[in-house]
Structure 1
Amino acid sequence: MRKLSIVLAITGGIILLVGVSLFLLGFFKPKLAGISITTTPAATVFIDNVQVGRTPYEGTSQPGEVTVKLVPESADIPLSPYETKVVLSSGIKTVIKREFAETEEKSSGEIISFEKVGGSEASLAVISIPDSAQVAVDGVSRGFAPVKVSSINPTEHQVVVSRPGYGPRSISIKALAGFKLTLFVKLAPDGANPSPTPAPIEIEEKATFIQILSTPTGFLRVRSEPGSGGVELAQVKPSEEFPFIEDDKATGWFKIEYQKGKQGWVSNQYSKKVEKTTLAATPSPSPSPTPKPAP
């Protein structure tokens, strides 16, 4: 009887140990990363040189960097394939959209990816090809790509990326708390045939700038954060004007682009907003080619 009790106790202990081990393995095992790919027309999908299906494609993978190759399916004209590297995040879906054309230059699309940064805030970074495309979030201009919005509500947003001479792209995104959302956008030139060059049309564009006012020191410091505690990044002079990015509700300070690709904060005590209307030349609309159904 005693031996039976010992055997049962040992067996129970082994079962308990195995169960706990399996639970811990499942608990600490990283979640799979998701990937969603849509294209026009349909395309064969390769991930790390392995054919995994065709678009529209939804799949999962281990977190980390992967190489995605898309080979368009077209019986009419040869279309340019697309290859890129993306970093997949655990428990997060990376989104790739691609519209193929005869060349890489004429193709367009976007990639939405996430990077865990911790904390409770969400942020957004927008990169464009070609660069210096104008970026608007929910109808508000945020400057020119590459641009970073350091704090954005963790909810759905509409981003429009545009540049004269190129077709704009409107992208729906959903920012997540504790993650930086990176939006990579490839714009395609307007029209299928760049020759002859269409006559330019002048249109009015409104933009907000920050004008530097007179200061006791003869200059105004640009800081890394709103408030006098931020690190000094540069100095700007009275009467100079810079593209407005955003304002800080707590301090009232303005965020500006003081150099191309560089942003910082200036005191609203010695600066003010000015609205400007400029004439921008854009190509006149070209006839669009007759669309052909995807195979």
Structure 2
Amino acid sequence: MRKVRIFGLIFIGGGFIVALAFFLIGILKPKTAGVFIDTNPASAVFINGLQVGRTPYRDNKQKTGEVVIKLIPESFEIPLVPFETKLNLVKGIETVIRREFGETDEFSSGEIISFEKLSKSEISLVVISNPDSAQLIIDGQTKAFTPYKAGTITPGEHTISISSKDYVDKTIKVKTQQGYKLTAIINLQKSRNIATPTPTPEIEKKTLVEILDTPVGFLRVRAEPSTLGEEVGQVKPNEEYVLVEEDEKTGWYKIELVPAKDGGEAKAGWISNQYAKKIEQGSDDTSPTPSVFKTPTPSVKPTVVN
């Protein structure tokens, strides 16, 4: 009987020691967290300044607390911008980082999925986007705009879709768990197909010349700004022509008789300013431009200046 008691005490004591050992191991064992990183293209992974590998990268033995993660893309064609962020790693939780690299931050995209411990009865989902105020759809149902917090959501897999003007839409899947708040930080890529409004070309205002009444019912067009110039055509009162230039000495107008076609030269000639006035194209002001009449070069025989 005495031996039975001794064996019983030894058994109980041994069990107590084993339980105490497991308890102490649980307390003294370092608290670890996890991180999973996936990128396109592959990238070098730096944690707190130390290179730890390349993507896809997974480590479930990270120390808890704040860490700085930097990703440097491996690109041999065009330079891609690196990505750096601070994370708070939580015991027993794997934080997920996904990144699509671009030439700049605005042409890059990705998401960070992290968890935060709540009471066992709670469950929550938070969605943050860059840019903010993006249209949010969860499981096919519109949920207004980001940032958004769902106070009540069922545990399990959910589909999150984000869209914003001038950005590429993005859809991801997340899995919420009872007793945790899931936070999804989603970065959208700037669209490369933004329609740039075509500027309305300014209509070049041309100065026109209106033909006035003449004693003979028409006005001669000459090759030179003088009555001695060869006649190259005739114009009639009330007709309008584009002003090419104005002779400083005589005040005569050089007008465009026939516009240039198929790369050819326009036909032009000179008319007396005595029977013409300048007007701005599109202007309602039809009053003649004041000009000083200059005496034409004397001709060999008397003629009507027109």
| Interval of TM-score (by shorter of Structure 1 and Structure 2) | 0.5 to 0.7
Deviation for aligned residue 1:152: 0.7
More strand by share: 1
Deviation for aligned residue 1:166: 0.5
Q: Which string of whole-angstrom CA distances, capped at 9 and with x for unpartnered residues, describes residues 24-47 of structure 1? A: 133234652111100000000011
Deviation for aligned residue 1:150: 0.7
Higher RCO, Cα 8 Å, sep 6+: 1
Larger radius of gyration: 2
* Structure 1 position 118 matched with structure 2 position 111: no
Amino acid at match of 1:84: T
Q: Equivalents in 1 of 2:170, 2:94: separation in Å?
A: 21
Contact 1:30 1:90 in 2 (8 A): no
SS at match of 1:86: strand
Q: In structure 1, what is the equivalent of residue 79 of structure 2? A: 78
CA RMSD for the aligned pairs? 2.5
* Structure 1 position 53 matched with structure 2 position 53: yes
SS at match of 2:174: strand
Q: After superposition, where does 1:62-211 map in structure 2 within 5 Å?
A: 62-191=63-192, 197=196
Q: Equivalents in 2 of 1:104, 1:130: separation in Å?
A: 12
Contact 1:123 1:180 in 2 (8 A): yes
Contact 1:142 1:149 in 2 (8 A): no
Q: In structure 2, what is the equivalent of residue 282 of structure 1? A: none
Contact 1:121 1:154 in 2 (8 A): no
Deviation for aligned residue 1:21: 4.7
Contact 1:79 1:103 in 2 (8 A): yes
SS at match of 1:120: coil
SS at match of 1:91: coil
Contact 1:121 1:152 in 2 (8 A): no
Contact 1:110 1:184 in 2 (8 A): yes
Amino acid at match of 2:24: L
Amino acid at match of 1:133: A
Q: Which string of whole-angstrom CA distances, capped at 9 and with x for unpartnered residues, describes residues 162-194 of structure 1? A: 112111111110001111100000001112x76
Amino acid at match of 2:56: P
Structure 1: gaps (5+ residues)? 1-8, 200-295
Q: Which string of whole-angstrom CA distances, capped at 9 and with x for unpartnered residues, describes residues 12-71 of structure 1? A: 97x878745531133234652111100000000011111110000011212211111000
TM-score in terms of structure 1 length: 0.59
Q: After superposition, where does 1:18-33 map in structure 2 within 5 Å?
A: 19-28=18-27, 29=29, 31-33=31-33
Q: Equivalents in 2 of 1:120, 1:80: separation in Å?
A: 42
Q: In structure 2, what is the equivalent of residue 290 of structure 1? A: none
Q: After superposition, where does 1:211-290 map in structure 2 within 5 Å?
A: none
Structure 2: gaps (5+ residues)? 1-8, 199-306
Q: Equivalents in 2 of 1:172, 1:164: separation in Å?
A: 22
Q: Equivalents in 2 of 1:180, 1:49: separation in Å?
A: 29
- Which aligned runs of 4 or more in structure 1 are off by greater than 6 angstroms? 15-18
Report % sequence identity.
50
Q: Which string of whole-angstrom CA distances, capped at 9 and with x for unpartnered residues, describes residues 127-152 of structure 1? A: 11111011111001111111101111
Contact 1:79 1:102 in 2 (8 A): yes
Deviation for aligned residue 1:121: 2.6
